[in-house]
Structure 1
Amino acid sequence: MLARALDSDLFYSFRRSPVTVVSAVVALGLVLSAVFAPWIAPHNPFDPASLSILDSFLPPAWAEGGDPRFLLGTDDQGRDMLSTILYGMRISLAVGFASVIFAMLVGITLGLVAGYFGGFLDSAIMRVADVQLTFPAILIALLIDGAARALAGPRAYDEIVFGVLVFSIGLSFWVQYARTVRGSVLVEINKEYVLAARLIGLRASTIMFKHVLPNVLGPVLVIATINLALAIIIEATLSFLGVGVPPTQPSLGTLIRIGNDFLFSGEWWITIFPGIVLAVLALAVNLLGDWLRDALNPKLR
């Protein structure tokens, strides 16, 4: 299996692109750093007992007044910036991955149903998709987040904020998957293997998910890769606007918002370092998505 994958055209295309290789290494390094943050972070920024207000606003270790214990300095609560970035990246990546998976489940299912059955279902699903396309993704996320905040109340909202973010961001992306899958299904349902499956009496759900779906996953994977970067950026935007995760467990966007309050007073490291990590992560994932799009396009081979 591994030998076959290494001999594939996809891996050959990957090896021939230095930018893609570097992007993959950077993205993998950031993801692994976030996953293993509890083991590699110098401090636990979410443990109040380990924090000291006397350590707040310390500059990076190499700057004047820096402390070797805090390589990238500390924030307004005395939290180590390096550790906070690693833990914050976990939240940003978790929201990004979960929202993309949710959008894929909704979009692929509705796209399969619309393309396979056609008729009224197809028209209804596509009209809903057309209406949603008129609204920016960030606006939809803000509307859902605001409604959840009003219905749940401040205290209860902090407990469900992760699910609200995943739902609101995922609901903004399902249209792309649905339209792409629907177009691919309209091509696949007229092929002989689908007609043969119908002839032997297989159920529609079996034909859609077992036979048609594997043949339309290529474009879906490209969209998912690009949407992952967009989801991370939208989560950071929501957190920057103050409607994301609470400051007690900050994501990269929350860290940038907190640092922005102190940027002009000289504490630049609180916002600059999380901003750099967010930009590098989004760029690396986007470059991987661009490569995957070109690698899976038969016209470019």
Structure 2
Amino acid sequence: MAAAISRAWDSDLAWSFRHSPVAMLSALVAVICIGAAVLAPWVAPHNPFDLASLNLMDAFKEPAWMDEGDRDYLLGTDDQGRDVLSAIMYGARVSLLVGVSATAFAMILGVVLGLVAGYAGGTADAVLMRIADIQLTFPSILVALLVDGIVRAALPRDVHDQIALYVVIFAIGISEWPRFARVVRGSTLIERNKEYVLAARVIGVSGARIVFTHVLPNVLGPVLVIATLNLGLAILAEATLSFLGVGVPPTQPSLGTLIRIGNDFLFSGEWWITIFPGLALVAMVLSVNLLGDWLRDALNPRLR
């Protein structure tokens, strides 16, 4: 175990991370954001979604450092008396859950279809890549809106509200798979003609085993970079859908929902209700994107 840790610490990737102040700062911010979200039930000052603990008399309290602020509410309260800091922590849980789940779904689907298209070639390659090309002509947010709209029209409202979180994950994930598929397909086209693949074919190894045992590990580098960058896009897509009112239900508010609620009071003086959730969203997405940029450069052999 100690030897494995030592090898990991001395690896090129670890060396690049230790010598990149931007990557280290981004990782710190990302850890803080993710930690606050995951540990929200234990570290949040209040439970903003416990109706029994809400008091409308505490509504619209200013942040603690302002003249009419309250030390119990560091970032102030919203129109229902909910603590904004606690609401951000709980909202970030939903945003991260949707972002990670949608990215994982898009990655698995895109990697599988990319491997099939690149290794099989022929009709399968032509059909899958044309579908990907057609989908890439539409902005991802429009594809997600289309999927969500179809589900809303097909299901009763109460049923949709129960599965709304899964619908959003599916809608965002299905709109992002072509990015993974095209990159994996291109790498697979190169790998399938190399000697180790030809040797595996000669000794009778099945195509599925060659693809998932031999080819897949050699195309994962670019996939990890795309997944890291796509995570920020997925979180933004979820926030956009929730801001438009077609994302997660109000009973499971995300950062996008909090920003939409606070936007109604932005010009009446209660700016903190929307500004702080917006800053939390920016910090989370920016840190993830910067880590993705560092990972792309660190895994690029031309830059070593």
Q: Distance in 2 between matches of 1:262 and 1:154?
A: 28
How far off is 1:249 after superposition? 2.1
State the match for 1:237 in structure 2: 240
How far off is 1:265 after superposition? 0.5
Does the alignment pair 1:64 with 2:90? no
The correspondence of residues 52-201 of structure 1 with structure 2, limited to 5 A, is 52-201=55-204
C-alpha deviations, 1:65-106, integer Å up to 9, x for none?
222111111111111111100000000000000000000111
Please give the TM-score of this superposition, normalised by the length of structure 1: 0.98
State the match for 1:226 in structure 2: 229
Q: Distance in 2 between matches of 1:220 and 1:114?
A: 16
C-alpha deviations, 1:3-58, integer Å up to 9, x for none?
11110111111111101100011101110111111000011111111111111111
State the match for 1:41 in structure 2: 44
How far off is 1:154 after superposition? 2.2
How far off is 1:202 after superposition? 1.4
Q: Distance in 1 between matches of 2:23 and 2:65?
A: 32
Please give the TM-score of this superposition, normalised by the length of structure 2: 0.98
Range moving further from structure 2, 4-13 or 59-68: 59-68
| Root-mean-square deviation over aligned CA pairs | 0.8
C-alpha deviations, 1:117-176, integer Å up to 9, x for none?
000000000000010011000000001111111222322211111111110100111001
Q: Of residues 258, 262, 277 in structure 2, which corresponds to 1:259? A: 262
Q: Distance in 1 between matches of 2:172 and 2:77?
A: 30
Q: Distance in 2 between matches of 1:267 and 1:154?
A: 32
Q: Distance in 1 between matches of 2:287 and 2:67?
A: 33
Number of residue-to-residue matches in the alignment: 301
Which residue identity does 1:276 align to in structure 2? L
Q: Distance in 2 between matches of 1:121 and 1:224?
A: 24
Q: Of residues 8, 11, 14 in structure 2, which corresponds to 1:8? A: 11
Which residue identity does 2:109 align to in structure 1? V
Q: Which runs of 5+ in 1 are unaligned?
A: none
How far off is 1:289 after superposition? 0.4
Which residue identity does 1:162 align to in structure 2? L
Q: Of residues 29, 40, 47 in structure 1, which corresponds to 2:32? A: 29
How far off is 1:287 after superposition? 0.4
Identity of aligned residues (%): 66
